[in-house]
Amino acid sequence: QVQLVESGGGLVQAEGSLRLSCAASGRTFSNYAMGWFRQAPGKEREFVSAISWAGITDYAISVKGRFTISRDNAKNTVYLQMNSLKPEDTAVYYCATRRNRIIAATSSAYDYWGQGTQVTVSS
């Protein structure tokens, strides 16, 4: 059984930073792609970033240059470093993984999800 547990969310002022973590268990972490998505109140879940098994990354246009995804295969953990945060980044952030090494930017491509962590950016 694959389990993903996010942490690191919280309340931060605009232009501040947060680092989200996602700890994975239940299978060989390094073989699979990982992704971050977010969902704001009243909106659909949207792609934020993803990283392949080989470290290839992808970002949504809205976060490119501000967010950085990384993974530590020894710790079975993926990170999302978020800098220059904006109020519009406020959302519940979800970690996800899929049965594939290659990254994807659609939520339907992912098979396992964490419970989410709240990020709130005040203006």
* One-letter-per-residue 3-state SS of the chain: CCEEEEECCEEEECCCCEEEEEEEECCCHHHCCEEEEEECCCCCCEEEEEECCCCCEEECCCCCCCEEEEEECCCCEEEEEECCCCHHHCEEEEEEECCCCCCCCCHHHCCEECCCEEEEEEC
d(CA 91, CA 41): 7
d(CA 81, CA 17): 8
The reported pLDDT for the residue numbered 26 is 84
6 versus 27: which is more confidently predicted? 6
The reported pLDDT for the residue numbered 30 is 79
pLDDT for 67-89, tens place per residue? 999 999 999 999 999 999 999 99
Mean pLDDT of the region 92-102: 95
Mean pLDDT of the region 101-118: 96
pLDDT band at 29 (very low <50, low <70, confident <90, very high): confident
